[in-house]
Amino acid sequence: MHYDTIKNEHGLPHDPFKAIVAPRPIGWIGSTNKSGIHNLAPYSYFNAISDKPHYVVFSSSGYKDSIKNIEETKVFTASLATEKLFDQMNNSSAPAKANVNEFDLAGLTPKIGKFVNAPYVAESPTALECKLWKVIDLPGNDRSKGTGNYVVFGHVVGIFINDEYIKDGFFDANSARALGRLGYMNYGVVGKENIVSKNRPQLDENGNLKPIEEWDGKYR
């Protein structure tokens, strides 16, 4: 099949776009409003976009509490959503009012960051502490109605890692078992059953690919 996304006449029960762009990391975004009420919400339009310096981005469909809080305070966190915290992550996505603390709603412990005044999930293996760089309104947004899509860019100024998840000098993704968002109501889990390693290819003096050797554990 082939279809025009403007008309979106795909003829399927559900739009397959998010099932195609998958798996997607989940940004479990922690923020605080001016009244001091914590907010926690998962966003699957989330990713790292740079490591020198460290930047992340997430997008919200609708002008939600996370966006409002971050624009007011200029800081936020992104905790890692994991298999062990699946239910809590899902519960934190409930459409609660602005005066509801989703940490309490989901039975989680908020911990204020070391580098920013925003809460992260204490039970999570790791969290990114971010300062707001910019919020971009995508075309068609209407802030007066809270509609449209809002893209948040954050400068990661600090990182928390639970020491239990550091193994031989590496962050142990196998133990963390991060969740990834698939399409529809589906999720995936990162674990040893689906983690593979492969060195980057190198070229010889004639421009031909060299045989790829097994990874020696050194990141270059």
Q: What pLDDT, in 10s, does the model give residues 79-132?
A: 999 999 999 999 999 999 999 999 999 999 999 999 999 999 999 999 999 999
Q: Is residue 4 part of a domain?
A: no
Mean pLDDT of the region 146-164: 97
Q: Is residue 207 part of a domain?
A: no
> Which residue range(s) make up the domain with 74?
17-189
What are the strands, taking DSSP E only, across the chain?
A: 24-25, 27-32, 38-43, 46-51, 54-61, 75-80, 110-112, 119-121, 126-137, 149-161, 166-167, 170-171, 179-181, 187-189
Q: Is residue 12 part of a domain?
A: no
Three-class secondary structure of residue 40 per DSSP: strand
Number of domains in the chain: 1
pLDDT in tens, 47-64: 999 999 999 999 999 999
Q: Is residue 209 part of a domain?
A: no
Three-class secondary structure of residue 88 per DSSP: helix
Q: Is residue 79 part of a domain?
A: yes
Confidence tier at 220 by pLDDT (50, 70, 90): low
Residue 22 clears pLDDT 90, i.e. is over it = yes
Q: Is residue 199 part of a domain?
A: no
Residue 91 has, within 13 A of its CA and on its CB side, a CA count of 13
What pLDDT is stored for residue 215 in this prediction?
78
Q: Is residue 81 part of a domain?
A: yes
Residue 185 clears pLDDT 70, i.e. is over it = yes
**CATH at 86:** 2.30.110.10
Q: Are 56 and 152 in contact (CB under 8 A)?
A: no
Q: Is residue 179 part of a domain?
A: yes
